[in-house]
């Protein structure tokens, strides 16, 4: 048995496959979810060294809704390493870190295809850990427990992306940084590439 106890909040197709993988690799795993099967494990999360968050993060009317993510992180505890596995927009990791100053917040994008989720978790092409200013020095601890991958990276959370939403978000951010008034022009150009 590995020495770290790992928690998972959310047991949909992402959280379930990651929790299964960690168990198969010898970690003690605590699963918490709103479903009947795992809802009684909420207080057991306090025992975990690292807690992965894998909950839906919808975009409603083109506005990213982080409320489900925040509601999940409320169930973590002081000094825990909290790793967001959900799809998020650039800047959310830092925003969450500011809300939960007594925890170490990371983002590690999942590169899963729903049809091949178990395979993608068991044999990832890459493992990426995005850190905040506060969590930077703890990044290696998160990377060390991730499923083995040929490419491993620790990067500032702002450069981490996990799906097609990521690229336009990066372009939008660069346009904002350049005070460009042509964001719509850039996005229209991307749609036809």
pLDDT value at residue 192: 40
Using one digit for the tens of pLDDT, what is the confidence trace for 114-155?
Answer: 788 899 999 998 899 999 999 999 999 999 999 999 989 898
Going by pLDDT thresholds of 50, 70 and 90, the confidence category of residue 57 is confident
pLDDT value at residue 124: 92
Task: Please state the pTM of the whole predicted model.
Answer: 0.80
Using one digit for the tens of pLDDT, what is the confidence trace for 151-193?
Answer: 898 988 876 644 444 455 555 555 666 665 555 555 555 444 3
Indicate if 105 and 152 belong to the same structural domain.
yes
Indicate if 46 and 123 belong to the same structural domain.
yes
Indicate if 22 and 108 belong to the same structural domain.
yes
Report the C-alpha gap between 141 and 26 in whole angstroms.
16
The phi, psi pair for 127, rounded to 5°, reads -125, 125
Indicate if 148 and 167 belong to the same structural domain.
no
As given in the structure block, the two tokens for residue 149 are 């991958």
Indicate if 104 and 149 belong to the same structural domain.
yes
Alpha helices in 25-162 (DSSP H): 67-73, 92-99, 117-122, 139-145
Indicate if 48 and 85 belong to the same structural domain.
yes
Residues near 1 by beta carbon (within 8 Å), at least 6 away in sequence: 26, 27, 28
Question: 25 lies in which domain range?
Answer: 5-159
Indicate if 91 and 143 belong to the same structural domain.
yes
pLDDT value at residue 193: 38
Using one digit for the tens of pLDDT, what is the confidence trace for 7-30?
Answer: 999 999 899 999 999 999 999 999
Indicate if 93 and 49 belong to the same structural domain.
yes
- Least confidently predicted of 50-54, 85-89, 125-129, 181-185: 181-185
Report the C-alpha gap between 95 and 69 in whole angstroms.
12
* Nearest one of 72, 24, 35, 66 to 52, comparing CA atoms: 72
Indicate if 182 and 88 belong to the same structural domain.
no
Higher pLDDT, 68 or 163: 68
């Amino acid at each position: 048995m590995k020495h770290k106890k790992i928690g998972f909040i959310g047991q949909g197709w992402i959280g379930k496959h990651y929790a299964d993988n960690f168990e198969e690799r010898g970690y003690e795993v605590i699963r918490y979810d709103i479903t009947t099967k795992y809802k009684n494990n909420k207080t057991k999360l306090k025992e975990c060294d690292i807690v992965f968050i894998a909950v839906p993060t919808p975009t409603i009317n083109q506005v990213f809704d982080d409320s489900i993510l925040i509601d999940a992180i409320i169930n973590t505890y002081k000094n825990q390493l909290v790793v967001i596995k959900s799809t998020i927009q650039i800047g959310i990791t830092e925003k969450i870190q500011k809300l939960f100053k007594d925890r170490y917040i990371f983002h590690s994008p999942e590169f899963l295809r729903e049809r091949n989720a178990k395979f993608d978790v068991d044999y990832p092409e890459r493992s990426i850990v995005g850190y905040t200013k506060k969590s930077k020095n703890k990044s290696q601890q998160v990377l060390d427990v991730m499923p083995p991958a040929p490419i491993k990276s620790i990067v500032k959370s702002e450069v981490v992306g996990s799906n097609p939403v990521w690229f336009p978000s990066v372009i939008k951010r660069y346009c904002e940084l350049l005070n460009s008034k042509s964001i719509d022009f850039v996005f229209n150009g991307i749609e036809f590439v």
